[in-house]
Structures are given as C-alpha cells and as structure tokens.
C-alpha cells in the first residue's frame, strides 16, 4: 500500500512538539498508532519503520520525544556523543511530561478523520518501548507493541521513578513484547521480572525472544539483524489484526 507523509505540530505544556505522520495513500478509515522512537529521535532508520507500518494500513504518528530540550527537527546521531546526549535528554524529561505528550498524540489521532473510531494502538523501540507500554495504560488504547523496552524493571524513564510496570494491570488492551537474548540493557533477569509482572495480570500477552542484540531493528548499526527484524515484523502485523478486528 502506498503511503503519504506529513509533519504536524502539537503544543504541549507551551512547547511545540513535531510529529511525523505516515498514513495510507488511499482515503479510508484506518487504525491509529502512537509510534515512539528510541533516544535518537526521528532519524531515517526510525521513520522507515514508521513508513513500513503505515504501508500495512495504519495512521502512524511519531512525536519528537525531547521537544522540550532540543530544537524542532533535531536528529541525534547514534554515536558515543549522541548516546550521551539522548540519555541526558531522557533523564531531564519529567515522567509527567512524557504522559502529557502521549495524551496529546492520542487526542490528535482520535480527532483525525482518517482514524477509525476506537482503534488506537502504541508501538515503540528502546525507551520508546517503555513509553508505548506506559501510553497503553490509557483506556483508549487497544494494543501495544514494545520492542526491547528499557527501564521497565528498574523504573528508569525520566526524572523520578516510573511506576509503569507496577501499573501494567491497568491496561485494557493486548500486549506484544519483543526482546533480544543478547541485549545488555534488558538482561535475562530484567526480562524475567518484566514478564512475571505481566503474567500476574489478565492482559492478553505474547512475548518473542530473538537471538539478537539491543536495537536490532535499526538498519544503520552493527547490531542490525535483518532476519530477526523481518521475523518480528511478521509477528507485529499479525498481532494488530485481531486487536483491531
């Protein structure tokens, strides 16, 4: 399916938040996805992932998660300096600010004429995986895909300690978690802590584990694994179909 792309601006807490939107070209009603990047924001490896999802028939809205700290349109380079910069931005952003951003994008999707009523989901990578799960605590969200989510087991997200995992039972939708067995940021004991907390709820949940490193779905680094990425995408697309009917 061909797609169209646009950039919109939403004002949250008196800060202009750029949102990259990819949606199907044919007019119609499609599910809407709040799509979260990793700490490097909306570089081409991330927007390619958003485009790919949109091509399956979804309106995908990806906000700049550090809009309060970085100029509009900033793409952080995925190198040593960029890693320090992105992690510092993450540390300096209040958890309540992340929540306000999620609410703003979900509101925009709800009011968008191309989004089918009642069909909202979230998807994210790394810190974005954590944010996707946190945003899915909103009763409007029917499903969440969390790719190698960081900080869930420790509460590390922004200023303060996030209670996302403790509140996971508030989810009313379905959940897909994706991990790499070689991921140092979500080691086996952390992964087990996450999955144990989810298993203690009534959430319809599936988890996938690939022999891959952290951020294995980014195509611009040494950790990229195309085979695991293709396998994960098949599962992601299959996950959404029953979620949205």
Instruction: Give 157-210 pLDDT, tens digit per residue.
Output: 999 999 999 999 999 999 999 999 999 999 999 999 999 999 999 999 999 999
Residue 219 is among the residues annotated as catalytic for this protein: no
Rounded Cα–Cα distance for residues 144 and 126 (Å)? 14
Indicate left, alpha or beta for 243 from its phi (over 0: left) and psi (-120 to 50: alpha): alpha
Q: pLDDT tens digits for 22-77?
A: 999 999 999 999 999 999 999 999 999 999 999 999 999 999 999 999 999 999 99
| Tokens representing residue 84 in the block | 């320090």
Q: Which among 126, 130, 146, 147 is annotated as catalytic?
A: 126
Backbone angles phi, psi at 148, to 5 degrees: 35, 60
What is the predicted pLDDT for the residue at 245? Answer: 86
Of 67, 101, 214, 225, the catalytic one is: 214
- The yes-or-no answer on residue 214 being catalytic is yes
Delimit the domains of the chain by residue range: 3-244
Centroid of chain to Cα 103: 14
Q: Are 21 and 6 in contact (CB under 8 A)?
A: yes
pLDDT (tens digit per residue) in 124-149: 999 999 999 999 999 999 999 999 99
Cβ atoms of 22 and 33 closer than 8 Å: no
| Topology of the domain comprising 3-244 | Rossmann fold (3.40.50)
CB 27 within 8 A of CB 59: no
- What pTM was computed for the model? 0.98
Name the catalytic one among 38, 138, 183, 225: 183
Known catalytic membership, residue 126: yes
């Amino acid at each position: 399916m061909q797609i169209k792309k646009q950039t919109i601006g939403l004002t949250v807490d008196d800060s202009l938040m750029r949102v990259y939107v990819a949606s199907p070209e044919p007019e119609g009603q499609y599910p809407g996805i709040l799509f979260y990047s990793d700490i490097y924001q909306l570089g081409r490896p991330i927007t390619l992932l958003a485009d790919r999802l949109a091509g399956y028939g979804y309106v995908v809205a990806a906000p700049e998660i550090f809009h309060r700290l970085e100029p509009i349109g900033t793409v952080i380079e995925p190198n040593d300096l960029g890693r320090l910069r992105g992690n510092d931005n993450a540390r300096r952003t209040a958890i309540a600010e992340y929540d306000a951003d999620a609410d703003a994008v979900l509101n925009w999707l709800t009011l968008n004429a191309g989004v089918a009523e009642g069909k909202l989901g979230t998807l994210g990578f790394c810190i974005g995986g954590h944010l996707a799960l946190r945003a899915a605590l909103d009763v409007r969200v029917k499903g969440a895909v969390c790719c190698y989510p960081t900080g869930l087991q420790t509460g590390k997200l922004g200023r303060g300690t996030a209670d996302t995992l403790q509140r996971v039972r508030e989810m009313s939708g379905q959940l897909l978690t994706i991990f790499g067995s070689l991921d140092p940021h979500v080691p086996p004991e952390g992964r087990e802590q996450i999955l144990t907390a989810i298993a203690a709820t009534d959430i319809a949940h599936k988890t996938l584990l690939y022999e891959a490193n952290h951020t294995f779905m980014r195509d611009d680094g040494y950790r990229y694994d195309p085979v695991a990425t293709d396998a994960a995408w098949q599962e992601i697309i299959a996950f959404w179909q029953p979620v949205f009917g």
